[in-house]
Amino acid sequence: MGFRRYRLGLEWTDSFFKLVEVHQSRGKIRVTDAAVHPLPPGWFRKEGVVEPESVVQAVREALKGKKLRTRKVHIAISGGHVRVMRRRLPELGRRRLRKWVQRKILPEADLPWEDPVFDCCPVGHVWEDGGEQDAVIVAASRRTVTAFASLAEWCGLEPVRLEPAPLGLHRWLVHALPGVFSRRMTVQISPRSVEISFFEGDIWLETRVVSLPVSLFAEKGASQADPLAPRLKGEEEVKRYGEALTASLREILEDFRERNGWMPKEWVLTGEGVDFSLLRDRLNPEEGVVTISPFPGEIMEDSLRERVSPWLGPCLSVPIGLLLDGGMSA
């Protein structure tokens, strides 16, 4: 029997708890189990987890009856909790480089927290001895990172790594849509907000978060038994939402182009809360195309594929991507 390994990927969003179990053997991956469960409104704020008992209870309901083969979990942190900086740094060993960033970069970075944790991701090569290296610095609040890790522990899981959600999403897209566009914008939609991230090749450039609750555009109707069923699935609802999203994206893209000198060639939609096929047809990028993050059915166990919600769609892109190799890591 070949080497077998099970791993868990977990994403906390403003609306859902998402967990996947992935089995790896001989370089191939299979999604063997998955759980998606709604979380209480406003469950996480700047000061931390609000009413953690209700969140833990929701997670336990989601995991009830599941026989996970491991408790070790990789956790995604929303890009809205993270700051990305591109800098030229001196060629130093990893330990000395971290001290240099802590002393020279962070104090001048105007970060919104007083307790940052960070990681450095070198980009490309240093061609001359003693030269500078291009690097991406990813920073987050220590308090926020600790809160997400502690919450997973309270749910009976064992955090082994925390990583920004945009990196997990990008790795899934590289796996599922290989060799397409090097300049890409991802649009991750949730019932309460939209997270917009920009990539050039494997390099994560930035993320912006826009508050855009789908409830503002929904027509009144009966409650939905399936929490993953899109709240917006009528033509007029999606049209109104698409117009509001387009206005927000236009403003963000114009600012991005002024600072970077280019526009993304591909917009990738992912998340939940809206009928993505209808939304795709409502978006008209100035340049490039609009695509939808692929459904991971081809790498799911047959028994799982038969059990999951018919509305699962691209919902699990991030937690699966956390467990894939390649691209930037932070």
pLDDT digits (tens, 9 = 90+) for 164-222: 999 999 999 999 987 767 899 999 999 999 999 999 998 999 999 999 999 999 987 65
Q: Which band of pLDDT confidence, cut at 50, 70 and 90, is reported for residue 288? A: confident
The pLDDT of residue 3 is 45
* Percent share of the chain, pLDDT over 70: 93
* Percent share of the chain, pLDDT over 90: 71
Tally of CA atoms within 13 A in the half-sphere of 80 that contains its CB: 17
**Cβ pair 168, 11 in contact under 8 A:** yes
pLDDT in tens, 17-43: 999 999 988 778 999 999 999 998 889
Burial readout 215-242 (b: 16 or more C-beta within 10 A, e: otherwise): eebbeeeeeeeeebebbbbeeebbbbbb
pLDDT in tens, 64-83: 889 999 999 999 999 999 99
**Distance between CA 240 and CA 73 in Å, rounded?**
38
**Cβ pair 56, 37 in contact under 8 A:** no
Question: Virtual CA dihedral for 21, 23, 24, 30, nearest 10 degrees?
Answer: -90
Q: In CATH, what is the architecture of 4-80+144-321?
A: 2-Layer Sandwich (3.30)
CA 312 to chain centre: 16
Question: Virtual CA dihedral for 318, 321, 326, 328, nearest 10 degrees?
Answer: 20
pLDDT in tens, 211-257: 999 999 998 765 677 889 999 999 999 999 999 999 999 999 999 99
Under DSSP, is residue 104 helix (H, G, I), strand (E, B) or coil? helix
The pLDDT of residue 106 is 92
Q: Is the pLDDT assigned to residue 1 strictly greater than 60?
A: no
